[in-house]
Structure 1
Amino acid sequence: MESVESHVKPDDSGSRILSQEELDKLKDDRVLVSEFKQQKLEKDAQKNWDLFYKRNTTNFFKDRHWTTREFEELKACREFVSQKLVLLEAGCGVGNCIFPLLEEDLNIFVYACDFSPRAVEFVKQNSLYSPERCLAFQCDLTKDDLQDNISAESVDAATLIFVLSAIHPDKMQQALVNLYMVLKPGGVVLFRDYGLYDHAMLRFKSGNKLGENFYVRQDGTRSYFFSKEILTKLFHDAGFETVVNEYVLRETVNKKEGLCVPRVFLQSKFRRPVTLNNQV
């Protein structure tokens, strides 16, 4: 599979324009998963992610070598060259983002946390893991776990890459407030996640819908698909200010099978304000 620049025409907001067939599919998909099952999915969320990593180990996601290209803050937010950057990878998985960064940048310390204890163990077992340069720990971002491991206002930047979408919408803002508390004033959250009308959203069959733009996969893990407006409100209500918040349109091409599917992501940067009157 190869990802290329999209030829899909965006609408006025920058997202993709749906075909009539796609619009009809979304309109007709009104049946929600029962309240009982939804409560069970929330209760079993950690177990389901742990089972995901048990099945896939470290083989599911590719290493993310694109982060420093897309987020120049990982290099540019230092006042001098030898300054150590303190980074939080919120939702680190098995380390596909942090280990390329640790290899590339010697002046970086990474806090790496994940909801899944099994994922954290995979991070610690990696040959590149060093307690002098990285602290990995299990954490529920929607609770107060972060400050059990990280001092308030001590982090220069936090990455939130395909993580917020897996959290129940009712708990997303609390997760962002918790990130806000460990960031230094002026610190940034570097965000990438699923955008509204991404191909993955349109692939869900009837019976997988949990709520507006919120779905459950066959393995019990869940995914939310963000509009720019919803994401902006979530971050602003948590005290952040927007640096950039844009849709990224891609087409994933499988030349062998002749398939071309439209991908929609949101790539964004939100800053904790320096001024006191903007704090939560």
Structure 2
Amino acid sequence: MPSETQVNSKHKIAIVTGGSRGLGRNTIVNLARRGVDVIFTYRANRAEADAAVAEIEALGARAFAFQLDTGRVSDFNAFVEQVKETLQTLGTDRFDYLVNNAGNSYHAPISETTEEAFDELVNIHFKGVYFLTQKLLPLMNDGGRIINISSGLARFTVPGISAYASVKGAIEVFTRYLAKELGPRRITANTVAPGAVQTDFSGGVVRDNPAYNKMVSDTTALGRPGLPDDLGPMIASLLSDDNRWVNGQRIEVSGGANL
């Protein structure tokens, strides 16, 4: 939680959803290595979030963790107030980077997809991203950066993941609109689309199921599934000024999956 001591922040500040584990955790660590302070969300596991805060602080950056279900738009106003208070703690009223990363998975053929599961996917991966971004934009510095996490599945097709892939396709369209509408503020918006990554996402199937791991390896040019450390450094780099002229793009980071 934020310290009561006011400090003057000269660092860039990032907000990352779903930052306590997997790809999100790797992203905030790599941002910290670049001197970026981080506000991140977690859904349920406070112990994981506290461990992530400690890891960031050991790297010399500052980190603040808040519980948030990114599928519950009704909770966003309270989260924005927490962000405002934290920014004041950091000696500012604006942040620089937003990474919409939080998500869940769902596997079922079209014939068996339930309306409840479909609505949850839409709320977390599309509606939540849309309206959290909307509510945070007044706090973002002009010249800021937005990255929305999509999926390789929005380009190639794996039967049984249609609902998840469809909402990721919606995020890619939304990102292009962000880039266009926020151009006057010099805010860039891009999509990063990971391929299969060895984390606990989807129950750890890519990491822990040998047959699935082999299937991914056999269809990937570089011969293996991704690792979190294949993605986090790329996202941190894309947010930096080195990539200030990249805007409105979908960048797939999959090792060459299904070429």
TM (norm. structure 2) is: 0.48
Higher helix share goes to which structure? Answer: 2
Higher strand share goes to which structure? Answer: 1
Q: Which has the larger radius of gyration?
A: 1
TM (norm. structure 1) is: 0.45
